[in-house]
Amino acid sequence: MLYGDEHALVRAVDEVDLNVPAGQSLAVMGPSGCGKSTLLYLLGGLQRPTDGQVWLADRRIDTMSERALARLRRDSLGFVFQSFHLMDELTAVENVELAALLAGQSPGRARKRAMYLLDRVGLADRATHLPAALSGGQRQRVAIARALSNEPLVVLADEPTGNLDSSATLDVLRLFEELRTAGQTLVVVTHDPRIAAVADRVIAMRDGAFVDDSRLAGTASGTLYDGRR
Ligand SMILES: Nc1ncnc2c1ncn2[C@@H]1O[C@H](COP(=O)(O)OP(=O)(O)OP(=O)(O)O)[C@@H](O)[C@H]1O
C-alpha cells in the first residue's frame, strides 16, 4: 500500500500475506508509523491497496464499488476506534441501535438488540445516559456494543485502549477476552501487550512488513480474511 505521489511516496504496508481464520482473534503490534492502521483500513475496505488483493469470506473487496463497500461495512464489519466516535447527542442505547436502524432493522428489533448488547458489555443500567455522562471505559464499551450491533463477521479495532486509564483498559480487556471466547473474529491494532496477551495470535510489524507472527492458541478453521498478492 503506497501513500502520496512521486514527490513523497510512503510504502505503508508491503509484501504482506495474511489469512485470518473465522473465529480467530489477532493482535497487530509495532512501533508508531509501521503500518498497523493502514493494514486495518485495508481489511475494513477504508483504503484500497495500490497492489494486491483483499478478500473477506468469499468476496474480493478491494475492487468493489464505493457503494458496495459501504454496504459491506454496514452489514458485515464492526469498527472500534481509539476516540470512540459516539454521537454526543444520542444516549448509549441510541448510539448502539443507530447502525441497525440504518441497516433497515425495525425500531423494536434494533432497540431489543441494543439493550441486549449493552447488557453484554455491562452497561444495561447506563442505557439512557449520554456519552458525556460516561467514563472513557464505559464509552469504549458502548462503542464495542455498537460494533457488534450488525452481528459482524469481524470486529476491527484501532488502538481501542489508547485513550483509557488502566482500570478502563482492564474492562475493555475483559470484554475482548469474552468476545474471543465467544468465537468472534477480531483484529485489534494495539500498543498494549495486555490486549495482545488475550489474542489467539500476535503479529509484530515494522516498516510495513510482518517481522513476527506467533500463534498463541489454535482456533476455528475456515478462512475469513484472505490477503493475496
Ligand atoms: N494518508 C496518508 N498519506 C500519506 N502517508 C500516510 C497516510 N497515512 C499514513 N501514512 C504513512 O504511512 C505509514 C504507516 O502509517 P500507519 O498510520 O498505518 O501506522 P501505524 O503503525 O498505525 O502508526 P501509529 O501507531 O502511530 O498509529 C506512516 O509512515 C505514515 O506516516
Structural domains of the chain, ranges and CATH numbers in brackets: 2-86+153-228 (3.40.50.300)
- Between the CA of 104 and the centroid of ligand 1 the distance, in Å, is 35
Query: Does the CB atom of residue 10 touch ligand 1 within 6 A?
Result: yes
- Cα 120 to the chain's mean position, in Å? 18
Q: Is the dihedral of CA 26, 30, 32, 36 positive or negative?
A: negative
Span of 25-29, 67-71, 159-163 with lowest mean pLDDT: 159-163
pLDDT tens digits along 146-195: 999 988 999 999 999 988 888 888 888 888 888 888 899 999 999 998 88
Q: Ligand 1 centroid to 3 CA: how many Å?
A: 9
Answer whether residue 53 shows pLDDT above 50.
yes
Ligand 1 pocket, residue 107 CB under 6 Å: no
C-alpha span between 126 and 92 (Å, rounded): 7
Instruction: Tell me the per-residue pLDDT of 111-152, one tens digit each, with 9 for 90 and over.
Output: 999 999 999 899 999 999 999 999 999 999 999 999 999 889
| Cβ of 38 less than 6 Å from ligand 1 | yes
Task: List the grid coordinates of 62.
Answer: 478491494
Q: Is the CB of 4 under 6 A from ligand 1?
A: yes
Residue with cell 469504549: 140
Confidence at residue 17, expressed as pLDDT on a 0 to 100 scale: 87
Please state the separation of Cα 221 from the chain's center in Å: 20
Residue 191 CA: nearest ligand 1 atom is: 25
Quote the CA–CA distance of 69 and 63 in Å, as a whole number. Answer: 9
Pairwise pLDDT comparison (217 vs 131), residue with the higher score: 131
CB 214 within 8 A of CB 53: no
Q: What's the pLDDT tens digit per position in 87-104? A: 999 999 999 999 888 878
pLDDT at 1: 77
Give CA–CA dist 206/217, Å, rounded.
23
Question: Ligand 1 atom 14: the closest Cα is on which residue?
Answer: 35
Q: pTM score, two decimals?
A: 0.88
So what's the ipTM on this one?
0.91
CA-closest residue to ligand 1 atom 18:
35
